[in-house]
Amino acid sequence: MVAEPSHARGWLKLVKDVAEEGRFLALERVDLKPRRLARHFAKRAWDVGECSIVAVREDEVIGQLTAVRDSGIYRHAAEIGMSVSADHRRKGVGAALIGGASEWARWAGVEKLTLMVFPHNEVAIKFYEASGFVREGLRRRHAKMAYGYEDLAEMSLFLD
């Protein structure tokens, strides 16, 4: 479902929880405040430039995906970032989020969804490949984390 202002706190909690699992998100801290995110959801949760989608179970945000469209000569592409709570992985939540992003992309005229994932996150890579994404490249030492550098694998999905 499209993110609504009431989802802001749950969205932030989910992202923080997944970040705390360690080395799954290229993110070390979440500084965004719930009120600011709620305002963002109210204005831009689904427009031609971006979308924010959530999976909710019994009022708990168990999955989130954000897609942001590139600009200029890259405007046919959008980069996604997503997370699913540990208790709800491998239960179709991620597939539903990718489906929602694909729906938004087709509506907005986006032809290609891209993402970056840590190469050691083999479970996520297999999920993305099963969802139709292909590996396009490797950005060496692209994420500078508190503990050192991490490579990021680039993946994409062309929408026909």
Q: Look at residue 159 and tell me if it is in a domain.
A: no
Domain that holds residue 109: 5-113
Q: Tens of pLDDT along 19-53? A: 888 777 777 777 889 999 999 999 999 999 999 99
Q: Look at residue 160 and tell me if it is in a domain.
A: no
- Structural domain count, the chain: 1
- Give the Cα separation of 59 and 24 in Å (integer): 25
pTM of the model: 0.93
CATH of the domain at 30: 3.40.630.30
Q: Look at residue 130 and tell me if it is in a domain.
A: no
Q: Look at residue 149 and tell me if it is in a domain.
A: no
Q: Tens of pLDDT along 47-87? A: 999 999 999 999 999 999 999 999 999 999 999 999 999 99
Q: Look at residue 69 and tell me if it is in a domain.
A: yes
Nearest to 46 by CA among 78, 18, 71: 78
Q: Look at residue 34 and tell me if it is in a domain.
A: yes
Q: Look at residue 121 and tell me if it is in a domain.
A: no
The band of 118, judged by pLDDT with boundaries at 50, 70 and 90, is: very high
- Give the Cα separation of 78 and 61 in Å (integer): 23
Cα-flanking dihedrals φ and ψ of residue 52, to 5°? -130, 125
Q: Look at residue 129 and tell me if it is in a domain.
A: no
Q: What pLDDT is attached to residue 2?
A: 96
